[in-house]
Chain A
Amino acid sequence: MAPAPTSTYSSITLSVNGDKHTLTVDHRTTLLDALRERLDLTGTKKGCDQGQCGACTVLLDGRRTVACLQLAVAAEGRAITTIEGLAEGEQLHPAQQAFLDLDGYQCGYCTPGQICSAVAMIEEHAAGWPSAVTDDVRPEAGPPPLTADEIRERMSGNLCRCGAYVSIVQAVARAAAVRAETTATAHTTHTTMTTQTQGAA
């Protein structure tokens, strides 16, 4: 039986940084090209277009992915976060601030990918995920501390040809520390609230 003729275009709705965009895409269009060429979100960079550099890293449902190997049509229904979606208005995301303050870049072209990757990587680590340099991956060993070596391994999918790696790692460490503090504060607040609620009861 001959295959049914099939359209090579689809009308899709992409959810990017909380905004819905409806557009018709050629199925060949990658999420990377859709962001850059159709939605004018050019913060996501095209470094190799082959999944070999990480410059196009975005978050898909909170997880870091390379947008160059993600077809746009297959990204429908998933929450996409790009570098443009990290700051809260004028307030930079702690990772962005750390990269800025510690000079965690040079030419800036790998930077959005490094930052998006770092933001998601810090969450992966917080969730207890081991890495290739984790001595003992067994759950009984507990989560590995986020040492410089752990950061380097986990960030290795983001190449920086300028060689700003040293300051990038420092920036990622600072962003992770800020997140840990924030979580600790949030946890304290939560505990306080719980106590108050119990007190009220």
Chain B
Amino acid sequence: MTTAPTAHKGSVGVARTRVEGRDKVTGAARYAAEVPFAGLAYGWLALSTVARGRIRSVETAGVLAMPGVLTVLHHGNAPRLDTGFVGFLGAPDPTCAVFQHDRVPHRGWPVALVVAETSEQAREAAEALVVHYEEEPHDIAFDGERSDAYPVDGHMPAVTAKGDLEAELAASAVVVDAEYTTPEEHHNPMEPHAATARWDGGRLEVVDSNQGATWVVSDLAQLFSLDPASVRVRSEHVGGGFGSKGVRAHQVAAVMAATALRRPVRVVMTRRQMFSLAGYRSPTVQRLRLGADAGGRLRALEHRALSLTSTVHEFIEPSAGAARVMYDADAHHTANRVVRLDVPTPTWMRAPGEAPGSFALESALDELAEKCGLDPIELRARNEPERGPVSGLPFSGRNLIACFREGARRFGWADRDPRPGLRREGRWLLGTGTAAASFPARARPSTATVTAEADGTFTVRISAADIGTGARTALTQVAADALEVGPERVRMRIGDSDFGPAMIAGGSMGTRSWAWAITAAADELRERLIPGAGIPPEGVTVRSDTTAAVAALTETERHSFGAQFAEVAVDVATGEVRVRRMLGIFAAGRIVNPLTARNQFVGGMIWGISMALHEEAVRDRASGGHYAADLAGYHVSAHADVPHVEADWIDDPDPDDPVGIKGIGEIGIVGAAAAVANAVWHATGVRHRSLPIRPDRVILAGTGEPHA
């Protein structure tokens, strides 16, 4: 697959500013809601105000008489959709299949779309729309005691078990048994979900903000029973996604309205609507039981994780999965269970499973280290598995301890006094903490075309999405090396379903999957081009499809690894917690662009700070809806919360990937919150097992009252 390096193979591994950087800093880059259309109409979604029940009636007459209002779509008049298919990423979440029936399964369920000539008119009309409900009692109570929870296979088996857990726990010299909780968390990309739909010469065109045009185009075609070739989805610039930007209510509603009105219709979610419509990370309750011998070697490991889902779609946050990769034990039991409640369906959110799972697992390891009187890094070194603890498969590479060693050296870990609560600087107690990180390195089939143009340049077309990852730039570098030319001769076109099927920007698989397809096409193109011969005016185009190559990958434990370090300051009198510095060292495959990759790792770590200290969507029991669902009520880290955060990596190319890539989108957040929480313990002597570590929790822990 790989070819020998030549004089022109110097792009991958070199820091390059972003291809689209100038457009982004001048405001020229247009996002989904910014592409102009003549005759555009504006749709505004109306959401249910009850958490469970039936729609008795929608009073459209008054609203239709309001200035500028063009139509009101609802379950009584909307076209029927086909929802009985298995789409690009499984069965569609019925939340996106809007206006199909009168049932309301959660508060914030889309009940109507009001379309008007201007957004101001549409908004006022949507807010004026009266919907009568037959309300039923709702159940949103999520806790570890739910007897109706059941195991669910998500993107991994629900349950794994080997060995006699109780016997090994009983025989252990040291036991940790603790419950950890994480709250409901929301992606909140800065760009709200937006789609503009129109019919153009018999084709449906949707300009959309998504993580994969292939995904959206195939699901929309199936929902509306259209020939996939008659649908085109474009998404040139995407203002963040983090898992939330797939097929959602706004695209479907926009297509319905554009079809009904025969004119372009744009539907943009408001920030508040995003809390109900854009998906989120389920809260989790996780119980960890670890048993070890006096030397810290694990004899028993149990990780049981509970998450929630809606009544209309099964989605599981598989938090117990991380232990299947990280640590072995004689008795090793993991289980992911879910409970169905009257809430919106959760979805993938940056490091699904690993993010909350690593908080619990890596906090428990820190507690075990404390109980064993061992350094937390030494404890992990003593429990390094030779093979996959559950799979028994060999690791394609496992550089975890190398990351810890490098991180410890640079962080100054060797000087650390392990005792908690000793270091004070003014009103602040100081502490440091560490945690391990891992994330699967996977690839999915993709197609790409590469064209040698007559002018000596090359055009790459691939239905990739750059949601801020730097993919457009990294892929340019990959293509340049594969074509053995300088990157300035490569034109990278992405974000268009007409370029053929490709993997989404998700699961840390995007850049790897796309780079593979581009490399394959470029390799073949290079072989086809005869040195010295001219290129015809239409160019020479080669198309690749990596389906067979990806399927031929040997089954192995293939992961990125990392070591997270954090220093925090805690004022126990006021409950304020500040992260002072963070360092992450990663073994995450070949790094294509150090400039954008560093940003990506650091961004993930900042998500970890945000998860540890700030993020929490609060649900009001009485209404079943959110309390203060906006960016003032749901805090994400601001500039002032983020100190110097440093990320670096060690050499770790994937042996089976044509470029050596593993994927870096998610691992930055894994373990980061645990490192912060472990540092808070080191600072104060108090274990915080519930996130976020809010001031009230710190204050109450400081006075010995039970946690709120």
User: Using a CB–CB distance below 8 Å, which chain A residues touch chain B?
Assistant: 26, 28-29, 33, 36-37, 40-50, 52-53, 55, 82-84, 86-87, 92, 96-97, 99-101, 103, 105-112, 115, 133, 148-149, 151-153, 155-169
- Which chain A positions have C-beta within 8 A of B120? 26, 28-29, 33
Find out whether the CB atom of B190 lies under 8 angstroms from the CB atom of A45: yes
Q: How far is the CB of A138 from chain B (nearest CB, A)?
A: 21
A52-B631, A103-B18, A108-B20 in contact; A92/B190 too (CB < 8 A)? Answer: no
Of B21, B189, B191, B636, which is within 8 A of A100 by CB?
B21
- Which chain A positions have C-beta within 8 A of B541? none
Chain A residue with Cβ nearest B118: A26
Chain A residue with Cβ nearest B607: A163
Of A28, A101, A148, which is within 8 A of B17 by CB?
A101
Find out whether the CB atom of A156 lies under 8 angstroms from the CB atom of B639: yes
Bound form: Cα–Cα A166–B85 in Å: 44
A50-B632, A161-B188 in contact; A106/B470 too (CB < 8 A)? Answer: yes
Bound form: Cα–Cα A47–B242 in Å: 16
Find out whether the CB atom of A106 lies under 8 angstroms from the CB atom of B468: yes
- Which chain A positions have C-beta within 8 A of B17? 100-101, 103
Chain A CB within 8 A of B24 CB? yes
Chain A residue with Cβ nearest B642: A165
Interface string of B100-118 (1 = CB under 8 A from A): 0000000000000000001
A107-B238, A109-B31 in contact; A166/B644 too (CB < 8 A)? Answer: yes
- Which chain A positions have C-beta within 8 A of B22? 92, 100
Chain A CB within 8 A of B467 CB? yes
Q: What are 28 sample pairs from A and B whose C-beta atoms fall under 8 A apart?
A: A26-B121, A36-B34, A42-B31, A45-B31, A45-B190, A47-B190, A47-B631, A50-B630, A53-B271, A99-B25, A100-B18, A105-B24, A105-B468, A107-B240, A107-B467, A108-B468, A109-B240, A148-B644, A156-B638, A158-B639, A159-B638, A161-B188, A161-B190, A161-B636, A162-B240, A163-B602, A166-B599, A169-B639
- Which chain A positions have C-beta within 8 A of B31? 42, 45, 109
Interface string of B631-669 (1 = CB under 8 A from A): 110001111101011000000000000000000000000
- Total of A-B residue pairs, C-beta within 8 Å: 182
- Which chain B positions have C-beta within 8 A of A107? 189-191, 237-240, 467-468
A163-B607, A164-B603 in contact; A106/B631 too (CB < 8 A)? Answer: no
- Which chain B positions have C-beta within 8 A of A156? 638-640
Chain A CB within 8 A of B270 CB? yes
Find out whether the CB atom of A92 lies under 8 angstroms from the CB atom of B26: yes
Bound form: Cα–Cα A149–B638 in Å: 12
Find out whether the CB atom of B271 lies under 8 angstroms from the CB atom of A82: no
User: Using a CB–CB distance below 8 Å, which chain B residues touch chain A?
Assistant: 17-18, 20-31, 33-34, 36, 118-121, 124, 187-192, 237-240, 242, 268, 270-271, 467-470, 595-596, 598-600, 602-607, 610, 630-632, 636-640, 642, 644-645
Bound form: Cα–Cα A103–B25 in Å: 10
- Which chain A positions have C-beta within 8 A of B603? 106, 162-164
Find out whether the CB atom of B26 lies under 8 angstroms from the CB atom of A43: yes
- Which chain B positions have C-beta within 8 A of A50? 271, 630-632
Find out whether the CB atom of B631 lies under 8 angstroms from the CB atom of A166: no
Find out whether the CB atom of B639 lies under 8 angstroms from the CB atom of A103: no
Chain B residue with Cβ nearest A153: B640
Find out whether the CB atom of A106 lies under 8 angstroms from the CB atom of B600: yes
Find out whether the CB atom of A112 lies under 8 angstroms from the CB atom of B27: yes
Q: How far is the CB of B534 from chain A (nearest CB, A)?
A: 34
Identify the interface centre among A37, A149, A156, A167: most chain B CB within 10 Å of its CB: A37
Identify the interface centre among B33, B268, B642: most chain A CB within 10 Å of its CB: B642
Q: How far is the CB of B30 from chain A (nearest CB, A)?
A: 6
Shortest Cβ-Cβ A-B pairs, 4 listed: A43-B27, A109-B239, A107-B468, A163-B606
Find out whether the CB atom of B34 lies under 8 angstroms from the CB atom of A42: yes
Q: How far is the CB of B667 from chain A (nearest CB, A)?
A: 14
- Which chain A positions have C-beta within 8 A of B30? 42
Bound form: Cα–Cα A33–B400 in Å: 50
Find out whether the CB atom of B26 lies under 8 angstroms from the CB atom of A87: yes
A92-B22, A103-B18, A166-B645 in contact; A43/B468 too (CB < 8 A)? Answer: no
- Which chain A positions have C-beta within 8 A of B26? 43, 83-84, 86-87, 92, 96
Find out whether the CB atom of A163 lies under 8 angstroms from the CB atom of B631: no
Bound form: Cα–Cα A52–B636 in Å: 11
- Which chain B positions have C-beta within 8 A of A40? 36
Bound form: Cα–Cα A148–B631 in Å: 24
Q: How far is the CB of A35 from chain B (nearest CB, A)?
A: 10
Q: Other than A103-B21, A168-B639, give 14 A-B pairs with Cβ distance below 8 A.
A: A29-B120, A37-B118, A41-B27, A45-B239, A46-B33, A48-B630, A52-B271, A96-B25, A103-B599, A107-B468, A108-B20, A159-B636, A163-B604, A164-B603
- Which chain A positions have C-beta within 8 A of B240? 106-107, 109, 161-162
- Which chain B positions have C-beta within 8 A of A105? 21, 24-25, 468
Chain B residue with Cβ nearest A110: B190
- Which chain B positions have C-beta within 8 A of A45? 31, 190-191, 239
Q: How far is the CB of A105 from chain B (nearest CB, A)?
A: 6
- Which chain B positions have C-beta within 8 A of A165? 606, 637, 639, 642, 645
A52-B630, A82-B27, A161-B189 in contact; A33/B271 too (CB < 8 A)? Answer: no
Q: How far is the CB of A8 from chain B (nearest CB, A)?
A: 9
Find out whether the CB atom of A103 lies under 8 angstroms from the CB atom of B596: yes
Find out whether the CB atom of B189 lies under 8 angstroms from the CB atom of A109: yes
Find out whether the CB atom of B190 lies under 8 angstroms from the CB atom of A53: yes
- Which chain A positions have C-beta within 8 A of B631? 47-48, 50, 52-53, 159
- Which chain A positions have C-beta within 8 A of B24? 100, 105, 108, 111
Q: How far is the CB of A108 from chain B (nearest CB, A)?
A: 3
Find out whether the CB atom of B639 lies under 8 angstroms from the CB atom of A153: yes
- Which chain B positions have C-beta within 8 A of A163? 602-607, 610, 637, 642
Bound form: Cα–Cα A26–B645 in Å: 46
Find out whether the CB atom of A108 lies under 8 angstroms from the CB atom of B29: yes
Find out whether the CB atom of A106 lies under 8 angstroms from the CB atom of B469: yes
- Which chain A positions have C-beta within 8 A of B645? 165-166
Bound form: Cα–Cα A165–B600 in Å: 11
Bound form: Cα–Cα A4–B126 in Å: 28
A43-B28, A44-B27 in contact; A166/B119 too (CB < 8 A)? Answer: no
